[in-house]
Structure 1
Amino acid sequence: MIATIRSETALPALPSASGIEIIGPVAYVISDDAPFVYLLDATTLAALAQVRLFETAEFGTGRIPKTSKPDIEALTALTWPTGQAGVLALGSGSTPARERGWFLPISGGAPQEVALGPLYALLRPLLPQGAGFNVEAAATTATELLLFQRTVGVANGAVLFRLPLVATLQFLTGRGAAPTSPKAQPFSLPQLEGRPAGFSGAAFVEGQLFVTASVEDTADAVLDGAVLGSYVGLVNLAAQTATFARLAWADGRAYHGKVEGLAVRRTLSAGHWELLLVTDDDAGGSTAVVAEVTQ
């Protein structure tokens, strides 16, 4: 597997990008310290609009402080129990303030806040000992909601939570009981300089589960560390295996940015895709990266 970067574009009006979904011609991008979902043209990356998810008085500097932000890290496109198509943005759950989520219908209308605490309480006991809860990515298949736990300083802390889609959404909206028997599937991810990679983005497209993983020099789920590199991977759900390629420029230089999310922009040929990635430099800066992946 090969992952080659073709271009990187700064997103100056979008702080701390943390996830992306493409629906039709529009790319929906979330930030981990802003109260908005940002809408971009998926081809040109031109800013189209921004939708406020919640009110806050702490965005005056352009970033909500780390101690109080909801830390929106995961984004997935799905159909809500009301029948509306849209995107579900989820907080990481790494602190009590980060157990909030929002469903945003793509047809317009106000976002709906979702309490994630009851769902996350079901998942925490499934983590390996020593791993702090930290959801960083989400994807949706026809039958499952997939939530990705990010490793931070624990080699066996990369976990995929597999939940029944309909039952979980009914639970989140107060229409049904808690989903029974959620599955926690551990994964072995690459390491750089002795630090394990952690899941950071996911997308399920045309039967393929794409993921991103980045490596930071930190053992803290809240505090950032120096970024060592990023990977793109393909997960085989049936075999419970994953194949990864480190992101690099066309001349072979390793890419040292922190990839936070991915979307499949188009299929170029069999086993060959063009991805749109978003990055966060942990200082409020964001970029959009176009990469080609060959299986």
Structure 2
Amino acid sequence: MEKFTLELLFQIVGIGSASGLIQKDDSMFIISDNSSFLYEYNIKERELHKIKLFENSQENIPKKDKFDFESITQKGTKLYIFGSGSTPNRNKRISYDLTSKAIVEKDLSAMYEKLKQTAAVSDDDLNLEGALFHNENWYLFQRGNGAQSKNGIFTIDKQENNIHFFSITLPKIKNIEATFTDAILVEDKIYFLAAAEDTASTYYDGEVLGSFIGALSIDTFELTFTQQISETHKFEGLTLHTNSKQIIEFLLCEDKDTEVLETDIYKLTLEKNFKN
């Protein structure tokens, strides 16, 4: 086996601009950064269901109006979906209870202001693209693709009183530094995706130069490995598929930055014992 293998697993018609996903049993829950639906895809039956997050949920919302849902994670029986914070209307968090199907909306504007103050990030440069919960703390992953180039991790306690920011430097492609696009926790490691995109804006897209998979220690945020997995794709969603002693498999989704309602799901297989 090579250090990694990347293969197209299947294509889902009906979802565009996929930005995050979670596999749970035979279902995948997928979000899109230009939609206000949560999508549930049954892997065995190959059926797609749309869950309204708002009474007037829409697809292909104009860029200036969209909620820009970029992060999805599970805590207990609930899925939590976060807006990126890159404009004032992108400050929402939605929870979806997998058991009761209850949907709760929360405005995170005040907390996002605290994040900007903590990291000295401007209004235009906050861009949250990954989230996870561990040991009673939220971890939010700041994509440093704005003018200030502040890539890193926010840690936030349950009361939102203790907020810290840790800068993380990632490899470059053609002199453009890769920046976080998603992250998950597996055992004691944070596995993350990062993309290099030729832009200095959190709002406007640029030329995609490639994507990385990597890992950090959950305790120290020490970077333990990175591996470039594509020269052309901007992968924005990461979920665990299988985990054994020898290999770990992830499912990935790609944001093609188009209005076409099709989403490609890839399987990434990594050897656990390789060093790059």
TM-score by length of 2: 0.89
Pairwise CA distance, 1:48: 4.0
Pairwise CA distance, 1:46: 2.0
Structure 2 Cα separation of the partners of residues 225 and 56 of structure 1: 30
Corresponding residue of 2:19: 18
Q: Give per-residue Cα distances to partners, 1:268-291, cap 9 Å, x unaligned.
A: 324x20100111100134211101
Corresponding residue of 1:246: 228
Q: Cα–Cα, structure 1 residues 204 and 228, in superposed 2: closer, same or farther, change >3 Å? A: same
Corresponding residue of 2:196: 215
Pairwise CA distance, 1:127: 2.1
Structure 2 Cα separation of the partners of residues 276 and 73 of structure 1: 16
Q: Cα–Cα, structure 1 residues 203 and 261, in superposed 2: closer, same or farther, change >3 Å? A: same
Q: 3-state DSSP class of the match of 2:60?
A: coil
Pairwise CA distance, 1:144: 2.0
Structure 2 Cα separation of the partners of residues 38 and 103 of structure 1: 14
Structure 2 Cα separation of the partners of residues 138 and 45 of structure 1: 29
Q: Give per-residue Cα distances to partners, 1:103-155, cap 9 Å, x unaligned.
A: 00011423111111121111111225667101011112233211000011457
Structure 2 Cα separation of the partners of residues 44 and 258 of structure 1: 26
Residue 8 of structure 2 contacts residue 264 of structure 2 at CA under 8 Å; is this kept in 1? Answer: no
> Is 1:38–2:50 an aligned residue pair?
no
Structure 2 Cα separation of the partners of residues 246 and 128 of structure 1: 30
> Is 1:94–2:75 an aligned residue pair?
no
> Is 1:125–2:117 an aligned residue pair?
yes
Equivalent in 104, 108, 111 of residue 112 of structure 1? 104
Corresponding residue of 2:179: 198
Q: Give per-residue Cα distances to partners, 1:139-190, cap 9 Å, x unaligned.
A: 12233211000011457511100122xx2xxxxxxxxxx4222111110011
> Is 1:289–2:270 an aligned residue pair?
no
Corresponding residue of 2:64: 67
> Is 1:268–2:244 an aligned residue pair?
yes
> Is 1:258–2:243 an aligned residue pair?
no
Structure 2 Cα separation of the partners of residues 132 and 230 of structure 1: 21
Structure 1 unaligned residues grouped into runs of 5+: 80-84, 168-177, 248-253
Q: Cα–Cα, structure 1 residues 49 and 182, in superposed 2: closer, same or farther, change >3 Å? A: same
Q: Cα–Cα, structure 1 residues 25 and 141, in superposed 2: closer, same or farther, change >3 Å? A: farther
Amino acid at match of 1:40: Y
Q: Cα–Cα, structure 1 residues 195 and 154, in superposed 2: closer, same or farther, change >3 Å? A: farther
Structure 1 Cα separation of the partners of residues 219 and 167 of structure 2: 13
Residue 26 of structure 2 contacts residue 44 of structure 2 at CA under 8 Å; is this kept in 1? Answer: no
Q: Cα–Cα, structure 1 residues 294 and 144, in superposed 2: closer, same or farther, change >3 Å? A: farther
Q: Cα–Cα, structure 1 residues 111 and 67, in superposed 2: closer, same or farther, change >3 Å? A: same
Identity %: 26
Pairwise CA distance, 1:238: 2.5
Corresponding residue of 1:103: 95
Higher alpha-carbon deviation: 209-218 or 140-149: 140-149
Residue 227 of structure 1 contacts residue 257 of structure 1 at CA under 8 Å; is this kept in 2? Answer: yes
> Is 1:78–2:78 an aligned residue pair?
no
Pairwise CA distance, 1:92: 0.3
Q: CA RMSD in A?
A: 2.1
Structure 1 Cα separation of the partners of residues 45 and 117 of structure 2: 40
Q: Give per-residue Cα distances to partners, 1:32-69, cap 9 Å, x unaligned.
A: 1111111123x558234221111347x3xx40000000
Q: 3-state DSSP class of the match of 2:244?
A: strand
Q: Cα–Cα, structure 1 residues 156 and 241, in superposed 2: closer, same or farther, change >3 Å? A: farther
Q: 3-state DSSP class of the match of 1:269?
A: coil
Pairwise CA distance, 1:202: 1.0
TM-score by length of 1: 0.84
Structure 1 Cα separation of the partners of residues 30 and 69 of structure 2: 11
Pairwise CA distance, 1:4: 2.2
Equivalent in 230, 235, 243 of residue 216 of structure 2? 235
